[in-house]
Amino acid sequence: MRKNTYAMRYVAGQPAERILPPGSFASIGQALPPGEPLSTEERIRILVWNIYKQQRAEWLSVLKNYGKDAHLVLLQEAQTTPELVQFATANYLAADQVPAFVLPQHPSGVMTLSAAHPVYCCPLREREPILRLAKSALVTVYPLP
């Protein structure tokens, strides 16, 4: 039986929200109205990191150091531990995660931390063709100036 595909959105001061994939008729042209742009600067700063389920001892200090000026942080193998959710909601306007699979306590998958709210969010989940391991992907669109 195929599991439902969804993203979880974390925003400071709000309950976590489940985001379902748009229907087959939906397109980016049917996105939410644009809010604040991702950046007003000429360049966008992006951090991409396989955080390895936060198993390395100094993961939080590394994330704070390298992510402090990033407009987007794209994390792979992110577990939604209380520490990661607290960091995300304290430092970014939105955090979206697509769980690839659920470990004993916390879902793990790709996560995007952003300096703006996305106007479009499409969670995706599939299995690898040979090993059949669960994989997740996330398409998010942000307003630019």
Predicted local distance difference test score (pLDDT) of residue 24: 52
pLDDT in tens, 30-40: 556 678 899 99
Which has the minimum average pLDDT: 21-25, 42-46, 48-52, 95-99? 21-25
pLDDT in tens, 93-136: 999 999 987 767 888 999 999 999 999 999 999 888 998 888 89
Whether residue 26 has pLDDT greater than 90: no
63 pLDDT tier (thresholds 50, 70, 90): very high
Full-model pTM: 0.89
Whether residue 58 has pLDDT greater than 80: yes
Burial class from Cβ neighbours inside 10 Å (0-12, 13-18, 19+) for residue 58 reads exposed
Percent of the chain with pLDDT over 70: 88
* Contacts with 30 (C-beta within 8 Å, 6 or more apart), sequence order: 22
